[in-house]
Chain A
Amino acid sequence: MLDLYSPGGSLLHRLPPAAKMLAMMLGATLLFINQSLPLTVAATLVILALYPIAQLTLKQAFAQVRPLLIIFMLFFAVQWYFSGLELAAYVVLRLAALILLASLVTLTTKSSDMIDSMTRGLRYLQPLGVNPEKVSLAISLALRFIPVLAQITREVREAQKTRGLERSVIAVAMPLAIRAIKMADEISDAIDSRGYRS
């Protein structure tokens, strides 16, 4: 499964995922408590400086912010018009710093490692009725189902094409949903018949 991880062996890559997540949450909270523009500029520069340390390029940093450029411009324009240039710069920069900080965690941590530390963490929720094994089963099933559903969609589209209905959402979605449920029923029977204790 493709994830957004960028391979490397830096200190940030080697830190345990839980530590990185905690640091990120702390950093995000501080960014929001702080109200001054110069400190936000400094924070952004520090976060950007972490990119080369994590063996990431500034191009990768920019790629994280790029999908939000339009909304940044919109926020900037609205804030500038209503509250002045300084607040506009502060708001947009704070947002950019937040995105860059969180991206740093995503880029330096494998999804599989993150899933492992999450399911380990779920042990502590066991008294509340959470069963980590069931969560693991759900995760692996979901990851397997995504390409299967994409495949079923292609097949249904192909079939509906012969009726000229490949562009009709309902004509594709309905058979897709029914086939998906049928597959799910068969899989759960198969799991149970192999003696999985639920």
Chain B
Amino acid sequence: METTAPRGLATKDIVYIALFAALTAALGLMPPIHFAGAALPPISAQSLGVMLAGAVLGSKRGGLALLLFIALVAVGLPLLSGGRGGFQVLMGTSGGFLLAWPLCAYIIGYLMEKDTAAGPAKIGLYVAFGGIVVMYAAGIPWMAFIGKLGLSKSLTIMVAYIPGDLVKVVLATIIARGLRRAYPNL
């Protein structure tokens, strides 16, 4: 970002990084949303934090915010939805999705920085690319590897989560646009 000090991170950047790591954790405290009855798995609000960090903070700070969050989970703090935490969750079946979060936020931020004049549709597209395409591209092969499932079978399992993720993309786009309008110099 233009406002970032040329060398290293300013105090403000560190505080923002901590804030968005905490925001991702706080989103895990929200009960999962059931929006299609029993037809689709309930969605956790947590990956909304990934999308917001990237879209609001940009590539470097957004990626670092999620790196901090994942590090806090790894050291055993129960910050993932449902009070989960520790290495066992990061190594488990959904580990690939979680470990991809810093990269997802970075890529969303990078796309936003490349196109500062993006309208809502384009922002939504960028958020969806980083928050769904990149996340699944990391998470599904991991799941396939760890469960010795083929890629196509793992993909089938994950299709049920796409509608929920699209809801989060819309929310993240609205909130990120609102925040950028309220604070143009984030």
Contact = CB atoms under 8 A, between A and B. Distances in A.
Interface of A: 1-5, 21, 24, 28, 64, 67-68, 71, 74-75, 78-79, 82-83, 87, 90-91, 95, 98-103, 105-107, 109-111, 114-115, 118, 129, 131, 134, 137-139, 141-146, 148-150, 153, 169-170, 173-174, 177-178, 180-181, 183-185, 187-188, 191-192, 196, 198
12 contacts: A3-B75, A90-B148, A102-B87, A111-B77, A138-B18, A142-B68, A144-B22, A146-B79, A149-B22, A184-B19, A185-B12, A198-B5
A102 B73 CA distance: 13
Contacts of B171: 169-170, 173
B155 interface: no
A141 B64 CA distance: 14
B99 interface: no
Interface string B157-178: 1000000000000010011001
Contact of B8 (A129, A145, A170, A185): A129
Contact of A106 (B68, B71, B88, B186): B88
B84 A2 contact: no
Nearest to A151: B26
Given A138-B14, A170-B171, 9 more contacts: A75-B93, A98-B88, A106-B87, A111-B75, A115-B75, A139-B68, A148-B22, A170-B174, A183-B19
A132 to B, nearest CB: 13
A146 B25 CA distance: 7
Contacts of A170: 171, 174-175
A141 B11 contact: no
A5 B17 CA distance: 26
Given A102-B87, A139-B72, A174-B175, A192 B11 contact: yes
B86 A142 contact: no
* Residue from B15, B149, B182 having most chain A Cβ neighbours under 10 A: B15
A102 B86 contact: yes
B31 to A, nearest CB: 12
B78 interface: yes
Contacts of A78: 149, 153
A3 B78 contact: yes
B23 interface: yes
A101 B183 CA distance: 46
B76 interface: yes
Given A28-B91, A138-B14, A177 B179 contact: yes
Contacts of A79: 147-149
A35 to B, nearest CB: 10
B72 A68 contact: no
Given A198-B8, A198-B10, A180 B19 contact: yes
B155 to A, nearest CB: 13
Contact of B93 (A2, A28, A95, A106): A95
Contacts of B174: 170, 174
B88 A102 contact: yes
B76 A109 contact: yes
Contacts of B157: 74
Nearest to B146: A95
Contacts of A198: 5, 8-11, 14
Given A75-B147, A99-B92, A131-B8, A178 B179 contact: yes
Contact of A188 (B12, B84, B86): B12
A153 B26 contact: yes
A58 B122 CA distance: 51
